[in-house]
Homo-oligomer: A and B are copies of this chain.
Amino acid sequence: MGERREIAALEGRLVAELVARGLRQTGPRRVIARVFFEAAPDEHLGLDEIHSRARKRDRHIGYATVYRTMKLLTEVGLAHERRFGDGFSRYEVAAGAAHHDHLICSRCAGIVEFEEPEIEAIQERVARRHGFAVTSHRHEIYGICASCQKAEHG
């Protein structure tokens, strides 16, 4: 699997960004970034979760450092901050490539990602019609997932 390779690549990009900005490579940063990069692509971790996972590797890491590191990762384009309806921010690895959106189950909070180039195209057209230059977008579909639908009939 290319997983290892991809994480290494992400870490490489981070190091490059740090150097380019005259910032330092530190233990906490490395741990937090790695926890984040290693998360399953559909986990969408919140600060709390990242913090607790990071602590398993270095007990001293503080919440504020997680916050600041994720902010940094977002600024350099390695992370995307998402705000679903549940009150806190979640982060996902910025897919260098295709953008994707989310299907969110209102019952079990499960999240499925999807890509739909056709929607992206239409959306680009809509924006142009209104004179907007698109920088990003967010598209979330809320509903009840298959397994929760089944459970409901029980």
Binding site for B on A (CB under 8 A): 83, 85, 103, 105-106, 112, 114, 116, 118-119, 122-123, 126-127, 130-146, 149
Contact = CB atoms under 8 A, between A and B. Distances in A.
Contacts of A119: 119, 122-123
Contacts of A149: 131, 133
Nearest to A150: B131
A142 B134 contact: yes
Total copies of this chain within the assembly: 2
B143 A133 contact: yes
A103 B105 CA distance: 25
A137 B134 contact: no
A3 B144 CA distance: 36
Contacts of A138: 138-140, 142
Given A103-B126, A116-B126, A139 B142 contact: no
B116 A131 contact: no
Given A130-B145, A131-B146, A132-B146, 16 more contacts: A83-B83, A103-B126, A103-B130, A112-B132, A118-B122, A119-B123, A123-B141, A126-B141, A131-B149, A132-B143, A133-B143, A135-B143, A137-B141, A138-B142, A139-B139, A139-B140
